[in-house]
Structure 1
Amino acid sequence: MSEPGVFTLPQPARERILLPALRELTEHHREHSAEYRRILAALDHRPGRAYRTLSELPWLPVGLFKRHTLRSVPAGEVFRVLTSSGTTGEVSRVYLDRAAAAAQQRALAAAMRTVVGRARLPMLLVESRAVLRDPGALPARAAGVLGMMGFGRDHAFVLDEREAPDPAAVAAFLHRHGGRPFLVFGFTFLVWSRLYDLARQHGWDLSHGLLIHSGGWKRLTDRAVDNREFRERFTSDTGLRRIHNFYGMVEQMGTIFLEGPSGDGLYCPDFADVLIRDPVSWRVLPVGEPGVVQVLSTLPRSYPGHVLLTEDLGVVHGVDDGDWPGRRFSVLGRVPRTEPRGCSDSYPGRAR
């Protein structure tokens, strides 16, 4: 059902490929973005500088996308503006031309085929259709749902138009499709607080399901539910065993870091990598030491989002020693005193 996809490169080969590509992107954005050019000048990163390792490349804090217009295409070529799900009124804005939007969708598809395969499975969305009604810029939550819907068919929604649970809709979906493979997608907090609770209440068998979920761990931590318990309780109470968490952000939309089959960590696609930095010295930390997550991707070309310092804490668990090649890591939470955000963390607070 699944296929090799884009989680194939051992770490040494990955770095040999990524370094020249990211150097080229740095010069591309320097040439096409005046804002980025000024930032590099302020950091004393001059044109033609020789970057010998990924860690030497200039990174931008993701917060800059909330305060600056960072794009590397003319305003008239902007096809879509993606916005993050910040809760304080400040949101990131990411500018895509048509080529960038298409590249993001291709990259997402290649990553998802690793676990989903090429067949479009019946799909259960732990969402409401109401979240998709946005005529302008796409918030991260809606963009994530729309991006995933293309991998399924005969879509059913766990939540009704008022964003309340709709057990009849889920029961009807399972009656039609529950006896053979089907796909489930949702943001982590909603999957736990809505689908898991409903499945346990109604005794639903989800053993043929494949769950893809992301974001919202802060609320689950508040409930003392970690990734291991999440997986174990879904398996024991609903029969659902095929579960893949993923990590991504609007500032690098299309680049997803996907959990391996055994749940041993998140993995980088072949066109991306992750570093963990000390929050004081900014040095790159070794395996096992937690710090601030830095993400690198060759995907962003219409805006300078190819090397970003996130507002998340994480830790690398190992390199070339897990389900798939490359670095495997976990996200531990938000950096203290940064704005809590996340697609499902912005969900209306009716469920407690």
Structure 2
Amino acid sequence: MLTDVFTLTQPEKEERLRAELLGLLAHHRRHCPPYARILDALGGADGDAATLADLPWLPVRLFKTRKLASVPDDEVIRVLTSSGTTGEVSRIHLDRAAAATQSRMLARTLGTVLGPRRLPMVVVDRAGVVGDRRSYSARGAGALGMVNFGRDHLWLLDADDRPDVAALKDFLARHGDAPFLVFGFTFMVWRYLYEVARDHGLDLSRGILVHSGGWKKLADQAVDNAEFRRRLGADTGLERIHNFYGMVEQIGTVFLEGPDGGSLYCPDFADVIVRDPVTWAEAPVGTPGVIEVLSTLPTSYPGNVLLTEDLGVVHGIDDGHWPGKRFSVLGRLPRAEARGCSDTYVGGRA
């Protein structure tokens, strides 16, 4: 199976994505009447977009207030929900083909850093988080999507969200001398894996950590990405660490941190545009703005070009470990709803 999806230079990517996204926007216009009305109201001819930045975007919040699906109800096999805290959640409708595609492309993306084999795996969560298999929370969907990459799973937390230290020691005794996978949302990794491993002198040096979910809770402890990586390496030996940025509204698309840390990269089927929050023009490299995400994966709903509620900055183009744009997420927009898979965890259950 091909796994390398970080191959295209930015000019190559823009040429390919523009053609594919124009076709997808036309598909959704035909099959999702509410989306067609939105495009008509915008007044632009989406088929004439000369660049990716010219493609019409939807605010990601729209999926909280409108049902937007491009397939009939009887073809929907799964409805994903976001992790907002105000009671409003996005609902993302997947048919069989879309669900298969997002799973396959997630596997190809993560295979870049995990390799082709399923590894013994620690999930920094409780098994019950996956819940109803037809309607997932974002946290449950993230955990369930990741367990497919592992074997001999250890769900680190018990039903009361307490870490099972004895089980972790047993897992490391059996698997700790060869590569193993660790997945969790950032705050939970810090609280339930890092602090436990540090306090018990556990060796995580053969682990590969994939994590996501925001830094809000850790900011209160003065822990940013660099400090997170430094402390895990110094105190537990865990140095292969990959943060990722993604959202339920573009499920299967993840922007992955490179091996050297510090920047997120776009896979070949996706891109980001950072927009000036006043003019909405594309911001220059190095200038913060609002993140727009683009992906060719959504086929069962019109989620290909979305304006997020996150602030970010592009650090460089075709000048990093992988080609294309490299960027960072700086945080939420002021007054934006608190969301994020780990940020919904408040010492209890999400």
Q: Fold match, TM over 0.5?
A: yes
Q: Is the 8 A contact 1:311 1:335 kept in 2?
A: yes
Tell me the residue number matched to 1:282: 280
Alignment of 1:83-94 (within 5 A): 83-94=81-92
> Alignment partner of 1:22: what SS?
helix
Tell me the residue number matched to 2:306: 308
Q: 2:121 aligns with which of 114, 119, 123?
A: 123
Q: Is the 8 A contact 1:82 1:138 kept in 2?
A: yes
Tell me the residue number matched to 1:29: 28
Give, in whole Å, the separation in 1 of the partners of 2:193 and 2:342. 14
> Alignment partner of 2:48: what SS?
coil
Tell me the residue number matched to 2:344: 346
Deviation at 1:45, TM superposition (A): 2.5
Query: What amino acid does structure 2 have at the position aligned with 1:54?
Result: L
Tell me the residue number matched to 1:207: 205
Deviation at 1:140, TM superposition (A): 0.5
Q: Is the 8 A contact 2:264 2:328 kept in 1?
A: yes
Tell me the residue number matched to 1:246: 244
Q: 1:113 aligns with which of 111, 114, 119?
A: 111
CA change 1:4–1:321 in 2 (3 A) is: farther
Alignment of 1:1-352 (within 5 A): 5-46=4-45, 49-134=47-132, 136-349=134-347
Deviation at 1:348, TM superposition (A): 3.3
Question: What's the TM-score, normalizing by structure 1?
Answer: 0.97
> Alignment partner of 1:309: what SS?
strand
Give, in whole Å, the separation in 2 of the partners of 1:224 and 1:193. 14
Aligned length: 349
Give, in whole Å, the separation in 1 of the partners of 2:29 and 2:131. 36
RMSD: 1.4
Give, in whole Å, the separation in 2 of the partners of 1:65 and 1:14. 27
Query: What amino acid does structure 2 have at the position aligned with 1:119?
Result: R
Deviation at 1:120, TM superposition (A): 0.7
Q: Is the 8 A contact 1:264 1:322 kept in 2?
A: no
Q: Is the 8 A contact 2:98 2:298 kept in 1?
A: yes
Q: Is the 8 A contact 1:157 1:169 kept in 2?
A: no
Q: Is the 8 A contact 1:85 1:346 kept in 2?
A: yes
Deviation at 1:350, TM superposition (A): 5.2
Q: Is the 8 A contact 2:226 2:262 kept in 1?
A: no
Q: Which moved more, 1:90-99 or 1:123-132?
A: 123-132
Give, in whole Å, the separation in 2 of the partners of 1:299 and 1:55. 18
Q: Unmatched 5+ residue regions in structure 1? A: none
Query: What amino acid does structure 2 have at the position aligned with 1:70?
Result: L
> Alignment partner of 2:182: what SS?
strand
Query: Residue by residue, what CA displacement relative to the aligned partner does 1:54-109 show, whole Å, maximum 9, x if unpaired?
Result: 00000000000000000101111111100001111000000000000000000100
Q: Is the 8 A contact 1:83 1:137 kept in 2?
A: yes
Deviation at 1:150, TM superposition (A): 0.6
CA change 1:3–1:27 in 2 (3 A) is: closer
> Alignment partner of 2:173: what SS?
helix
Deviation at 1:39, TM superposition (A): 0.4
Q: Is the 8 A contact 2:64 2:90 kept in 1?
A: yes
Question: What's the TM-score, normalizing by structure 2?
Answer: 0.97
CA change 1:3–1:17 in 2 (3 A) is: closer
Deviation at 1:128, TM superposition (A): 0.5
Give, in whole Å, the separation in 1 of the partners of 2:95 and 2:280. 33
> Alignment partner of 1:72: what SS?
coil
Give, in whole Å, the separation in 2 of the partners of 1:196 and 1:208. 14
Give, in whole Å, the separation in 2 of the partners of 1:4 and 1:32. 32
Query: Residue by residue, what CA displacement relative to the aligned partner does 1:144-186 show, whole Å, maximum 9, x if unpaired?
Result: 0010001000000111111111111111111110111111000
Q: Unmatched 5+ residue regions in structure 2? A: none
Give runs of ≥4 in structure 1 deviating > 4 Å: none
Q: Is the 8 A contact 1:3 1:114 kept in 2?
A: no
Deviation at 1:138, TM superposition (A): 0.5
Query: What amino acid does structure 1 have at the position aligned with 2:280?
Result: W
Give, in whole Å, the separation in 1 of the partners of 2:214 and 2:310. 13
Deviation at 1:3, TM superposition (A): 8.0
| Percent of residue pairs bearing the same amino acid type | 63
Give, in whole Å, the separation in 2 of the partners of 1:334 and 1:232. 24
